[in-house]
Amino acid sequence: MKKLSLLVLMLLPFLGFAQTLSLNDGWTFSQADKETWYKAEVPGSVQRDLIRHKVLPDPFYGTNEKLIQWVEDENWDFKKSFTVTAEQLAHDNAVIFFEGLDTQADVFLNGSRILRSENMFVGHKVSVKNLLKEGENSLYIRFYSPVQSLMPARLTAGYDYPAGNDHRDEKLSIYNRKAPYHFGWDWGIRIVQMGIWKPVSLTFYDNARIDDFYVKQTKVTKEKAEIENIIEIYSNKETSAMLSVSAFDGKTEVQSQSKNVELKKGKNTFSVPFTINNPKRWMPTGWGEQILYDFTAKITTDNQEIAQKSEKIGLRSVRLVQEADEHGKSFYFEVNGIPLFAKGANYIPGEIFTTQQTSDYYEKLFDNMEAANMNFVRVWGGGIYENEEFYRQADERGIVVWQDFIFGCVPYPSDNDFLQNVKNEVVYNIKRLRNHASLAFWCGNNEVEEGLQHWGWDKQYSAEIYNNWLKGYDKTFRELIPDLVNEFDGTRSYIHGSPYDSNWGNPETFASSDVHDWGLWYGHLPFEGMADRLPRFASEFGFQSFPEMKVIRSFAPEDQWSLESDVMKVHQKASTGNSLIKKYMDMYYHEPKNFADFVYIGLVMQGNGMEESVEAMRRGRDYCMGALYWQINDDWPVVSWSSIDYYGNWKAQHYRMRDVFAPLALGVKFQDNQLNYYTMSDYLNDMNNLQLTVQVVDFNKGVVKQLKEKVNAKANASNIVKTFNVAEVVSESDKANTMIRAWLSDSKGNKISTKDYFFYWPNKLNLPQTDVKTSVKYADGKYTVTLTSARLAKDVFVEIPIMGAQFTDNFIDLLPGEKKVIEITSPELKAAARTPITVKHIRETY
């Protein structure tokens, strides 16, 4: 079989098919005008390779960040040679494809400059047949400092832009079309990279190639899917050809159409429409299957197939619904005609060294989304247009994607050259991503208009500068980009920016837009205050915590374990972050005994406080139809708003999000001395004949009262299903010693969702002193931990010194006499090693 496959591959060039060579291997790099050359990994970056070669220290450790900044001010050269055969040169054409160069660069091949790059987000295809030669060929790339190369722009502008997240005095990030987060952020390390950040390949072909295949879904209903297949072909000559498009459902062809076309030399665009009857529609997770059809476009000349391109397509309709109502204007997403409550998070690039995001990384990321019952993710505008694997995972798992264009938190230039650069970027990425079923929506930017209207820039700059920014905003985000979205997509909604028409300091604006509600955190609003200011759609909100101690140990020696130490300051990028964590902790918790306890309580506080906010939003549908918290992940080990730290450890928040985002979750609201229990369902069918069990639990005695009620959960809705007068359940004097545990179960007694309710935060509870007893069963890859306690142990945290270990549960309330079993899994766990496990609960911290 291997010999046969090899024979087929050898024959492919002579059967009219293209032959593609990877040019990723064999690169070396050097600081410009220096003699020392190092082996380069491609895809990669200068800084990543310099760390690999130990020229730079680990930037994550201690205060090493400052030791690597010199690299961004230098130019860097990359070179490689490759061999071309006479047989390859016999092809009609050869195209070299640089999928991503970061960022300002000149590319030379055999003595000729073939490309000048000015945008990290644009791939480049260059015809090089006339430059190639038999035998050895040479490629050379000079990457220019993204700081020094654009310094003249700053000098001639005469002022610095208000780019507060650009962690250098001279603000150059706004002139660069590269990942803004490379320049720093309020959770981000600054590593302004250069290099070949995406693959490089060389393709030899004859006659023609298919450059783009857009399966445009003009209308999709239960009865039929109307498709316009748009195929972009580059032909080396004028010729007649047959263009065919087919769609397969598995192995069964469901539709095909062919047409004779006349190819002119150069670029050609053709449309092949057809209809698929009774389509199997792609559905978001929890609503049905993620059906993906195989669409293929082929070109045939003289009865010989010369090119083809395939796409996996989920047929669905999706739109943003903004309609006037009695409150203001709605803001929600509708998939296949059904309103979707968006449960999810904002996603930042998972690595500061972007090319370390492997397919395994994306698989784990989406595993974590699925495990937390998410159906929605926002790709935030300060990072990158994500790699193909991100959207493929979203397609296959039914995670709906909100896509920002990559602009964030600062006004941008709007001169003709800059806008042409932006245009190239927008067209390239729309065409690259538009076939993905998961991609629901385009958003112009993150918080640019918010900054223009509410961050005081009009007071800091002259009227002329400020008015130019306003005009530039309109040119970019209200004219250029929406026109391009309409032209090159034509099926998805677009808004000029997020938040769309609101400001967190003015809750009266919440009734008509998505909201970034930073009343919690920056506005010092208490957690419980979030329920009184529900938005139509929360596209950002969050609360910080430190990562757990095993992560802190990875970057800080013990003498730096304090809020004001040099190392902790470097790993806390929000200017008031540590003081705000402490302020909230003083509001809700007893003062911890030590730094480790402070870190632990901060994790618990973030988790429980954010659960309160998210649950209020979910209870508040149909008025509120989305809760996308800030943020799911980190790009280095840092204090941040994430629910999963850089090493893949779930914080308390991720467990709480898992529970409150459950497809059918139980919620509770205490109001007017009543406990109102809600069912919050995403299921498309009613769930009837459920049982609600409510237990009154004394912290010392255990269960003292139990109530049971039959309830029904309405489909795709949130509803009060039972109200209890608290006075009939627990006396006022017992509230500090009592909790309420409630759960939903089905007709077979299987628990669906559990909800614990405490009347006060921990500093007003009489939590008992207790010892949590543990027993552990050790096996390779899995430890099974059994926990018991004679009295309530609140927010029990089980810790193991292995990064990324997975827990079936953690940060739990352990009731008197209850037995809780938690499984810990990791390939690093060995039965013989008996890796130590520690357990902590709130009462032990004071």
Instruction: Give 774-826 pLDDT, tens digit per residue.
Output: 999 999 999 999 999 999 999 999 999 999 999 999 999 999 999 999 999 99
Contact (CB, 8 A) for 114 and 71? no
* Dist. CA 391–CA 402, nearest whole Å: 11
**Computed from CA positions of residues 672, 678, 680, 681, in that sequence, does the dihedral angle turn out positive or negative?**
negative
> d(Cα 846, Cα 844) in Å, to the nearest integer?
6
Q: How far is CA 569 from the centre of its chain?
A: 26
Give helix then strand counts, H and E, for the chain: 16, 44
Both tokens assigned to 750: 């299987």
* Beta strand segments in 14-75, E: 19-22, 28-31, 38-39
β-strand pairing of 514-516 with 537-540? parallel
Residue with tokens 């005095």: 169
Give CA angle at 832 (830, 835), nearest 5°: 60
**How far from each other are the two terminal CA atoms of the chain, in whole angstroms?**
69
**Residue 306: CB partners within 8 Å, gap ≥ 6?**
16, 17, 205, 206, 207, 208, 241, 299, 300
Sign, CA torsion 174/180/185/191: negative
> Which residues in the chain show pLDDT less than 70?
1-17
Look at residues 327, 405, 393 and name the one whose alpha carbon lies nearest to residue 359.
393
Count other Cβ atoms within 10 Å, centred on residue 14. Answer: 11
Residue 351 CB neighbour total at 10 angstroms: 17
Name the residue with tokens 């827990």: 807
Amino acid identity of 381?
A: G
What's the rounded Cα separation, in Å, for the pair 59 and 44?
A: 16
**Any bridge partners for residue 138, and if so which?**
81
Q: What is the dihedral of CA 588, 590, 594, 599, to 10 degrees?
A: -20
The pLDDT value recorded for residue 14 is 37
Q: Within a 13 Å sphere around the CA of 135, how many CA atoms are in the beta-carbon half?
A: 1
Q: Is 611 exposed, middle or buried (0-12, 13-18, 19+ CB in 10 A)?
A: buried
Going by the DSSP 8-state scheme, the letter that residue 700 receives in this structure is T
Nearest-angstrom CA–CA distance, 602 and 597: 8
pLDDT for 5 equals: 37
Rounded Cα gap, residues 28 and 398, in angstroms: 41
- Do residues 775 and 798 make contact, with C-beta atoms less than 8 angstroms apart? no
Count of positions (residues) in the chain? 846
* pLDDT value, residue 10: 37
CA distance 799 to 797: 6
3-state secondary structure of 181: helix
Give the C-alpha distances (Å, rounded to integers) separating 22 from 42, 83, 95, 97, 390. 11, 12, 12, 10, 22
The string of DSSP codes covering 726-753 is GGGTS-GGGGGGEEEEEEEE-TT--EEE
Count CA atoms within 13 Å of residue 138 on its CB side: 8
Contact yes or no for 450/497 (Cβ under 8 A): yes
pLDDT at 11: 38
pLDDT at 134 (0 to 100): 97
What's the rounded Cα separation, in Å, for the pair 401 and 442? 9
Backbone φ and ψ for 603, nearest 5 degrees, come out as -65, -45
- Beta-bridge partners for 404: 443
What pLDDT does 575 receive? 84
Q: What is the pLDDT at residue 6?
A: 36
Nearest alpha-carbon partner for 578 in 594, 590, 593, 562? 562
